[in-house]
């Protein structure tokens, strides 16, 4: 085998699972957050390719982007199920102080002390949607004893 194949084999042996910040299956929301690396290839195909090497993919998702469509929660549920992700973390978009998102929302007058940033979607819909996702995806597998 050549050196490149040997290195690839070593990686396959070394990793049983990876965590991927997929963030969202919504292209417009990925553009909004400049997660352009997540737009280079089809996200579902990329996850399935990793899985063909016997590597489990766990992922993080975010809701509350300005560009999230009304069906964002259903789209995330469908993605998690179709990708057969054994563990998915779903979080609300958070603007950390002095980061790019925080500066943009502050300039737009959309930050207030002690509150989540205001998204285009009504704030009361977001927690209900997150709960819907969490109740709809499979339970993570039990750890071996």
Measured on CA atoms in the order 93, 97, 99, 104, is the torsion positive or negative? positive
pTM for this predicted structure: 0.73
Statement: residue 119 has pLDDT above 50: yes
Nearest CA among 95, 130, 98 for reference residue 115: 95
CB neighbour burial string for 108-131, b if at least 16 within 10 angstroms, e if fewer = eeebeeeeebbbebeeebbeebbe
* pLDDT of res. 1: 43
- Burial-class residue 96 by CB neighbours within 10 Å (0-12, 13-18, 19+): exposed
User: Tokens 């195909």 correspond to what residue?
Assistant: 45
70-117 tens-digit pLDDT: 899 899 999 999 999 988 888 888 778 888 888 888 888 877 665 555
8-66 tens-digit pLDDT: 555 555 678 899 999 999 999 999 888 889 999 999 999 999 999 889 999 999 988 88
Rounded to the nearest 5 degrees, what angle is found at the Cα of 133, between the Cα atoms of 129 and 134? 115
Q: Which domains does the chain have, with CATH numbers?
A: 15-136 (3.30.750.200)
Neighbour order of strands in the sheet with 17-23: 17-23, 56-63, 88-92
* pLDDT of res. 101: 82
* pLDDT of res. 105: 82
Two tokens, residue 51? 């899985």
Indicate the SS3 state at residue 106: helix
DSSP state letters, 9-64: HHHHHH-SEEEEEEE-S-HHHHHHTT-GGGGSS-HHHHHHHHHHTT-EEEEEEEE-
């Amino acid at each position: 085998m050549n050196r490149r194949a040997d290195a690839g084999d070593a990686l396959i042996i070394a990793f049983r699972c990876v965590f991927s910040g997929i963030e969202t299956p919504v292209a417009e929301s990925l553009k909004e957050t400049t997660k352009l690396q997540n737009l280079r290839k089809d996200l579902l195909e990329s996850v399935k390719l990793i899985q063909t090497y016997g590597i489990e993919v766990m992922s993080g998702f975010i809701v509350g982007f300005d560009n999230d469509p009304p069906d964002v929660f259903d789209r995330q549920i469908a993605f998690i199920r179709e990708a057969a992700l054994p563990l998915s973390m779903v979080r609300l978009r958070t603007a950390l102080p002095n980061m790019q998102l925080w500066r943009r929302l502050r300039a737009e007058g959309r930050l207030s002390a002690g509150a989540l940033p205001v998204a285009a979607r009504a704030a009361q819909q977001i927690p209900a949607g997150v709960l819907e996702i969490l109740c709809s995806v499979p339970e993570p597998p039990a750890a071996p004893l």
